[in-house]
Amino acid sequence: MSVPSISLLTTLGRLNRVRSFVLPPFLILTISALVWAQSGYSASVQGIVRDGQGRTVAQAQVQLQGKDSKQVLTAASDAQGFYKFERLRDGAYALRVVNGSATVEIPSIALGANETKTVDVRLGAAASSGQSAPQFYDEPQFTVSGVTDTTNLGGHGSDTVVRTRESLAKETATLAHPESGGGAAAAATEKSLREALAHAPASAEANHRLGALLLASGRSEEAIAYLRKAAEIQPGDAEVHHALGDAEEKRGDPLGAVRQYQRAAELDASEPYLFDWGAELLLHHAPEPAIEVFTKGNSRYPKSARMLIGLGAAAFARGGNEEAVQRMCEASDLNPVDPAPYLFLGKMLRAGNRPSQEEIDKLQRFVKLQPQNAEANYYYAVALWKSRKDPNDPAIAQAESLLASAVQLNRKFAPAYLELGILHAEERDYVKAIADYQQAIQIDPRLEEAHFRLGQAYRQAGEAEKSKQELRIHRQLAQESAQQIDRERHEIRQFVYTLRDKPAQGH
């Protein structure tokens, strides 16, 4: 049976009035659902309210108001801290959560049609026990007030640029030091620490060491209880708060993690703690707060290359490409033999347009210092290729030579074969281009661009069926890639944050 239209509903309504016609209940429900869906009220917002210690909060008052509406919807969190607003029209909303004297406001939540958005809220950071902030630490000019999924994250620029921003954020996080606390736990076994706690349950050291040991063994849920206990007993221990940050991130509570990383940096403004705080912000799509933290970290530790890398990656995430390049170049000058800044620089260049002379110079230095590094040859080749002025530019021949060196140094370097194919295709040497693309695909069958380029090269060579086949593969891979990216974006939840105006000079 087909679903009745709205016009049919009107007709049946008239019949009902004129002839006492009674609609069957199932039909009434079906029509009501259709009317509701067509009216646009199909979105929802839900989440969990927690306190500063990460515990769920029952009976917190949650208010939701559309940006273009005077109506305020209210709900109360249940025994598990859960709240939900349903049947919302798509648009922009503001969320406010109140529990006693604690209030959190999230000024802007974008809802799409049929979208269910999860926004968890933390009502306050853990107690500070009167500990003062370190000398460097002004009050942050930002507030992280919640988290949401990344369904509508989007991003300006091409898809390649957006993917590169996300990739650099993840790679920045990998520059962090290993989780703190592992060393403290290494000298003790789980059994001996549990025995120690049986005799002295209020020992901050034993709770910390057992929590760190459990965290290092991948048991973050168990670790949190002991680390929280250690923080309660000795709240001024930065190492405990940092370990708690690691544990909260691993168990999927990024809001709890960033609170703990921040507290660790407040208690001990060391380079590792500042970097991890900034990296956590960047990982969860908060580039402006990350820039503030990395800037302060760079001011305090000007010789830290990774602080500059973090600052560059955050600038790139915000769209400040020139600033990002400058920071990566500065990082490469601190220790010219360190490959990390060059690799970040090369990945940004691969996603961008014509390189600056400074980028070319730095990548040239990279290959001079490390001539046997395949990536050094590759990225310098990409820089030269993008800088070419005309088909006779000598930079093209040099780029081809560097790419040939890259694949000689690493026979499994699919992107270098792909780049060689692009170069040969532009020279209209489709026989070489096809061979290059085929080699890239043999190494990495899921390299989308290689299939697309191969399809184009086959078309130019007059092999229409092969062209169609490669383009079909490209479309299938692109679809699967988009689905994978969507899954990954949902795994890394986005911070909801607000920026405050900086105080006027002299205040």
Q: What are the backbone angles phi and psi of residue 71, rounded to the nearest 5°?
A: -75, 135
Residues 6+ apart with CB under 8 A from 209: 181, 184, 185, 188, 193
CATH architecture of 40-124: Sandwich (2.60)
Selected from 1.10.3720.10, 3.90.1150.10, 1.25.40.10, 3.30.300.280, the CATH number assigned to the domain covering 147-352 reads 1.25.40.10
Is residue 171 within a helix (H) or strand (E), and if so which, with residue range?
Answer: helix 159-174
Q: What are the backbone angles phi and psi of residue 82, rounded to the nearest 5°?
A: -85, 140
Q: State the Cα–Cα distance between residues 173 and 156, nearest whole angstrom.
A: 22
pLDDT score at 137: 52
Per-residue pLDDT tens digits for 35-92: 444 456 788 999 889 887 778 899 999 999 988 888 999 999 999 899 999 999 888 8
> Which residue intervals of the chain bear CATH 2.60.40.10?
40-124
Any idea what DSSP says for residue 179? Answer: P
Q: State the Cα–Cα distance between residues 121 and 55, nearest whole angstrom.
A: 11
Per-residue pLDDT tens digits for 326-375: 999 999 999 999 999 999 999 999 888 889 999 999 999 999 999 999 99
pLDDT score at 369: 97
> Which residue intervals of the chain bear CATH 1.25.40.10?
147-352, 411-507
Per-residue pLDDT tens digits for 200-249: 988 988 999 999 999 988 999 999 999 999 999 988 899 999 999 999 99
pLDDT score at 506: 39
- What's the CATH number for 411-507? 1.25.40.10
> How crowded is the C-beta side of 177, counted as CA atoms within 13 Å?
20
> Which of 174, 424, 393 has its CA nearest to residue 279?
174
Three-state DSSP state, 90: coil
CA distances from 222 to 116, 184, 195, 328 (A): 31, 17, 16, 39
Is residue 199 within a helix (H) or strand (E), and if so which, with residue range?
Answer: helix 190-199
Q: State the Cα–Cα distance between residues 162 and 172, nearest whole angstrom.
A: 15
CA distances from 67 to 108, 114, 477 (A): 8, 18, 39
Task: Write the Ramachandran bin of 500: left for phi over 0, alpha for psi from -120 to 50, otherwise beta.
Answer: beta
pTM, entire model: 0.75
Q: What is the DSSP string of 441-466?
A: HHH-TT-HHHHHHHHHHHHHTT-HHH
Is residue 242 within a helix (H) or strand (E), and if so which, with residue range?
Answer: helix 238-250
Is residue 58 within a helix (H) or strand (E), and if so which, with residue range?
Answer: none
Q: Is the pLDDT assigned to residue 482 strictly greater than 50?
A: yes
pLDDT score at 150: 65
What integer is the mean pLDDT of 119-146? Answer: 64
Three-state DSSP state, 121: strand
Query: How does residue 507 score in pLDDT terms, banded at 50, 70 and 90?
Result: very low
Polymer length of the chain? 507
> Cβ(317)–Cβ(282) under 8 Å?
yes
The whole-chain average pLDDT of the chain stands at: 84
CA distances from 69 to 72, 91, 92 (A): 8, 11, 10
Q: State the Cα–Cα distance between residues 315 and 326, nearest whole angstrom.
A: 10
Per-residue pLDDT tens digits for 374-411: 999 999 999 999 999 998 999 999 999 999 999 999 99
Amino acid at 454: L
Q: State the Cα–Cα distance between residues 201 and 213, nearest whole angstrom.
A: 17
For tokens 């690691």, the residue is: 246
